[in-house]
């Protein structure tokens, strides 16, 4: 662990503060399209469109690159499923020399109502296996995450619910959630996470 900390410390000392890594959590494969667990993928897809860039297949991920107000944005969709998101993040963080402070992970959150979006500078995995794997690989929980509420239907097993398709109400409000999420991401990049939290964390977006 000490060896890993030295590597990460060296990485942060040599990182480019004008470079950001935005990672969306999701599962690859057409069968997972439009499922709740893939909202991270949907939002970074929207981000790539806003930045007028396209994804390409690379090592451990689909990757896109764009510029926002003079800052380089690396967008990553891991290609090894939700539970193994950390390996892709750490590989591209090291390759691109991005500091921990400039990482933002976008994911679904069962503990938030649908329509709620929260950005936080750190925290626990909250039972999300993708966040748990990122923490294990990164060696810290001190990285920003954008959590998109998907509610929690206790009548349906958790795995079935998160892998289930959006219902009609959710689908009708997804565009609002995506648009608001992009605003939050750009605020995080342009201002600070503290200011972004103050602006957005107490709002409902549907």
Nearest-Å Rg of the Cα atoms of the chain is 16
How far from chain centre, in Å, is Cα 174?
Answer: 16
128 an active-site residue? no
Selecting among 36, 37, 63, 145, the annotated active-site residue is: 37
Query: What distances in angstroms separate CA 194 from CA 8, 38, 199, one per listed residue?
Result: 24, 26, 9
State the Cα–Cα distance between residues 67 and 203, nearest whole angstrom. 28
Tell the burial category of 148 from Cβ atoms under 10 Å away from its Cβ (0-12, 13-18, 19+). Answer: buried
* Residue 185, phi-psi category: left (phi > 0), alpha (psi -120 to 50), beta (remainder): alpha
By annotation, the residues acting in catalysis are 37
């Amino acid at each position: 662990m000490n060896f890993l900390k030295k590597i990460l410390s060296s990485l942060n000392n040599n990182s480019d503060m004008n470079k950001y890594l935005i990672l969306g959590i999701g599962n690859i494969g057409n069968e997972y399209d439009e499922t709740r667990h893939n909202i991270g993928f949907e939002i970074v897809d929207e981000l790539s469109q806003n930045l007028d860039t396209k994804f390409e297949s690379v090592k451990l991920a689909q990757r896109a690159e764009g510029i926002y107000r003079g800052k380089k944005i690396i967008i990553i969709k891991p290609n090894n499923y939700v539970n193994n998101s950390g390996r892709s993040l750490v590989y591209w963080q090291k390759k691109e020399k991005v500091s921990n402070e400039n990482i933002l992970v976008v994911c679904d959150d069962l503990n938030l109502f649908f329509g709620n979006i929260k950005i936080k500078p750190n925290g626990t995995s909250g039972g999300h296996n993708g966040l748990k794997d990122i923490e294990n690989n990164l060696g810290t929980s001190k990285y920003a995450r954008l959590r998109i509420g998907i509610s929690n239907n206790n009548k349906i097993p958790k795995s079935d619910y998160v892998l289930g398709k959006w219902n009609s109400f959710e689908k009708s409000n997804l565009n609002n959630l995506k648009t608001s999420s992009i605003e939050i991401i750009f605020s995080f990049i342009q201002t600070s996470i503290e200011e972004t939290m103050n602006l957005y964390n107490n709002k409902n977006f549907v």
